[in-house]
Amino acid sequence: MYAVSVMKTDFFKTIKILDGGMGQELLARGLVSKGTLWSASALINEENHGLIVDTHRSFIDAGADVIVTNNFSARKVRLEQNKVENTFEYINKKAGELAVKARDISKKNVLIAGGLPPQNGTYVPDDRDKSIIEKNFKEQSELINPYIDFFYLDVFSSSWEVEIALDIIEKFNKPVLVGLHFKKNGKLPTGENISEVIKKYKKHNWLGIIAACVSLEIIEEHINKLKSFDLPFGLKANLWKEQEPLPVHKFNHSKPDEIGKNPNEIMGSRKEVTGEIFYDFSKRLKDKGATIFGGCCETNSSHIAALSKLK
């Protein structure tokens, strides 16, 4: 249906630039979120589809080699919370279609990563029954698969979620970039060591390993943990003021009046981190051997443009 490139597993051996924080950038550009849907609100409402394409294109024009599908909040549990579960198939397919549209309009040789988010909360492990997690991953990955060049495990917090997702992705015969979220102690929210997860689950189809939605300081302190596994490594850093972000369900449902708030109202935004500062930080990691650079929450096209100078 859509032209998807034959992905070389050595793609990230040389410096490549990922996009920035899609969801927060949509909100910054005027998207009004319904409940806890945030970026998924733009997929449900057709009048916002152009906003998604334009935001993808802003990252491409800034120098991104890869854009990630805008389906982080399109997981089934989030849709059920907001009573729009009937849109699940439509919006995940639409996330793929709009990424393809942005790439085609740009006429640039960029790849599309299929974002596969944690299927329950964010920044916390999913402790539900394995069969439920497996079903959720399978359904979402099947919907985005036709549009993408590779899968991206986006902000994973436990080894068992990595294992389940990898088993499902293997059936699609596509490679995967693994994004792990870790804390100030350098461990996953489960308390697991990053090295243990990589050693146990590393497969031939891994494109690389990155710190996903982690603060600059935590990444810089623990980047060497990603360095010793004969894999390309790098980051998608966030610019929250809170170095260890609160789990989404913690701040969203404890107080009814916080439903629908932009997450940066709770966790703060580091406006002082300019593109130049982001570049200097990333240059230090490049000097340590990192080759994968991108932004997560609160990073915009100016940050990605700065990163593109690393090449």
pLDDT band at 35; cut points 50, 70, 90? confident
Can you tell me which residue has the tokens 């410096």? 15
Q: What stretches of the chain adopt beta strand conformation (E)? A: 16-17, 66-68, 111-116, 150-156, 176-180, 206-214, 233-237, 292-295
Q: Above 80 in pLDDT, residue 36?
A: yes
Span 62-81, mean pLDDT?
Answer: 96
Let me know the angle formed at the C-alpha of 98 by 142 and 274, rounded to the nearest 5 degrees: 110
The pLDDT assigned to 2 comes to: 59
Cβ–Cβ under 8 Å, residues 297 and 21:
yes
Nearest alpha-carbon partner for 85 in 75, 98, 97:
75
Say if residues 232 and 208 touch (Cβ distance below 8 Å).
yes
251 band by pLDDT with thresholds 50, 70 and 90: very low
All domains of the chain, ordered by start, with CATH? 11-310 (3.20.20.330)
Collect all residues with Cβ–Cβ distance below 8 Å to 276 and sequence separation of at least 6: 306
Other C-beta atoms lying within 10 Å of the C-beta of residue 100: 22
Of the listed ranges 70-79, 143-152, 223-232, 278-287, the one predicted with least confidence: 223-232
Q: Is the dihedral of CA 116, 122, 125, 128 positive or negative?
A: negative
User: Please, which pLDDT band fits residue 252 given cuts at 50, 70 and 90?
Assistant: very low
Q: CB 170: neighbour CB atoms within 10 A? A: 13
> Distance between CA 148 and CA 112 in Å, rounded?
5
What pLDDT was estimated at residue 87?
Answer: 98
**In angstroms, rounded to a whole number, what is the distance separating the alpha carbons of residues 243 and 245?**
6
The arithmetic mean of pLDDT across residues 57-71, rounded, is 98
Task: For 172-199, write each residue's pLDDT tens digit.
Answer: 999 999 999 999 999 999 999 999 999 9
User: Where is pLDDT greater, at 112 or 6?
Assistant: 112
pLDDT in tens, 125-180: 999 999 999 999 999 999 999 999 999 999 999 999 999 999 999 999 999 999 99
Q: What is the mean pLDDT of residues 222-232?
A: 92
d(CA 253, CA 259): 7
Rounded to an integer, the average pLDDT of 265-289 is 93
Across 218-224, average pLDDT:
95
Residue 17 phi, psi dihedral angles, 5° rounding = -110, 125
Average pLDDT over residues 100-126: 96
Q: Is the pLDDT of residue 5 over 80?
A: no
- Residue 254's pLDDT band, with cuts at 50, 70 and 90, is very low
pLDDT in tens, 79-104: 998 899 999 999 999 999 999 999 99
Euclidean distance between CA atoms 65 and 172, whole angstroms: 22
For the cut 80, the answer to whether the pLDDT of residue 257 exceeds it is no
pLDDT at residue 267 in the model: 83
Residues of the chain with pLDDT > 90, as a percent, come to 82
Nearest to 45 by CA among 91, 10, 114: 91
38 against 17, higher pLDDT: 17
| 295-303 average pLDDT score | 97
Instruction: Give dist(CA 48, CA 31) in Å, integer.
Output: 8
Predicted confidence band of residue 6 (pLDDT cuts 50, 70, 90) = low
